[in-house]
Chain A
């Protein structure tokens, strides 16, 4: 029972972290029909920035320096996401979708390679964040506060985001642009600024996700964004790509699933956990090809 509770807690928590990444995938897809392969790497860069900023702000990490550097991480990650869109995707707005996708893959490698260059490829350790990194004992298992708090934070952010999308003018514009570029333009909507807004929101959530994720799993390597990014992407597909509630629910399910697969009582469960998780998803997608909340006809990539 104790074992069950701690597995569930870890699953929900990492699921929430995937959710924060998955929202960026699903929103960008919703508006551009683009799988933004660089998104997971933006998440990784946010992690590295967290490390470098905190260490450059002083050897002694007071709560204030940590807070300041986390805010800086947020701002810089948003800027990075914004720039990626402007430089790598916007010039290809009328190009075939494949070209944009290749551009996204290019950006993904650029970020990974830059990270390797900067870190020398060594795993870096994410700083301990006051309170979030402290542990409490739940059901006999020591658990970091971040694990407990992540799902609550995610739920708050998702509710805020849905409010923004469903009840504000900019949210209405986002829904309109996602449906129809040209008619949106006829309404006077500047689609490029709406697209930028989407990248800004996605990157901000990825930055927050990186803080929670790397506080839990402290090693940041140049490929540290690849697996969580892929899981988040799969969560978005699983939930029905383009749908925010779908991505969030998909992410929580994947997180929980993989944590239970990990503790299955046979040899190799830990090693094969990712393959198991993906197999499970494929089975679901066989029966529900558009995902949980997907629309009928989604463009295949």
Chain B
């Protein structure tokens, strides 16, 4: 039977912060780790630490097998056709940079890259860098005041001039869930490539890259109970085969002479150097853990906690919700009257409530909304009503300071 009570699996949630019981509501930044993930990483270093894909000894075989098993789990997790479509990276940011640097966009006449106003800086800046290098234009799909993408505008921005569309599945600033399927369809209709940033979605909904019909899907291990420093780029094999490697080094080559080298097939072509083996092993444990828990009912409990907390915040005097999505993920952004988001962040921190205040690496979004930032509470599957209650009472206390 799968687990429906998981809080006690996360040792950090029983600790305290500033002398108060920890209330962890910064899950969009990173999630906490269950004991099984922590143990697995320790186990790797204590019992089978070895480099992968090279040595001919037992531990190396075990380490390689574990790393490759994680690749299989990732393929399954995303409903990818082949494990060769799974490339290990440091995380979402590196995955996007890899695509930006490797995709053969620029041999064609297409001059536009389309993003949106909701993007995280890591889905903006890599495109600026390539745009500068290849003299391309970056254009952004705008949003309504509620934070919803303007699909009509998307329809006109995405055209035969578009090389690639890069769009987030869930906005880390506002919690808006985007209709990425619709956006990918528009890209497809015009022969453009489409990348979906799954950093904030991969934990919260089942991901099916075939159904989304994107060309690339990226996510970070640390946002779904895995360790930091490991993430995934999924790409269609036909594209990966055509792409040139971004980084060169060991492991990614077939043959090297002094003057030239030939590369391995994907995924190895894109994995130069010793990979983050401990990270991959830990990510494997996190994905296994996700299979063991009852994601469906935990997700429903989380959704009702988020909905309930959103309603309570909306009813509180002096609180203004930022963003009002039709479909909200586990993120709530708001402002408190007469204060800067950082003031609230500090006053909540003093009460043991960990959340984030600021622009959340969403400067274009904050500019669009005309605000310096927000206070952001972000939930995960282990949060419960006590966390929602502490947030509300912590805010009530903070308001007495202003």
- Indicate whether A and B interact: no
